[in-house]
Amino acid sequence: EFLYKCECKKGYTDASPKGSIPGSVCVLDYCSDVNYCPSNTSCVNTEQQAECQCHKGFVDIRHSESRMSLGFSSDQYCLSPHDVDECALGLHNCSSYAICTNLPEGYSCQCPPGWEDG
């Protein structure tokens, strides 16, 4: 199809637009460091940086304010749904008046005695 072939140098990745010559646009491969992302994540190149994204089916706990106090290390980003206590981690959408109950997969919100869901 093309008379010549372009390849990106080591440490760069191909970002050529669809339909153009492959290797004609090379950008820094932020994910070239294989140890950049912790377990249960994949490294994804964005425009200016690398981003660690949870594997499908895993729960991202990075936004939990209490994850460190619950004993999770700073490099634990994504957990299997069986390992996550959304109630303890504050990763639920229950009302502040509701009772959050951890389940084997997920959680449930219940009104306290004397209250009705509305």
Q: What is the pLDDT of residue 1?
A: 60
Report, as ranges of residue numbers, the positions in the chain whose pLDDT lies below 50.
none
Label residues 21-40 b or e (16+ Cβ within 10 Å = b): eebeebeebbbeeeeebeeb
pTM score: 0.58
CA angle (15, 46, 61) in 5-degree steps: 150
Q: What is the pLDDT of residue 53?
A: 92
User: Cα(97)–Cα(87) distance, rounded to whole angstroms?
Assistant: 13
User: Cα(90)–Cα(22) distance, rounded to whole angstroms?
Assistant: 45
Helix (H) or strand (E) holding 57: none
Q: What is the pLDDT of residue 60?
A: 87
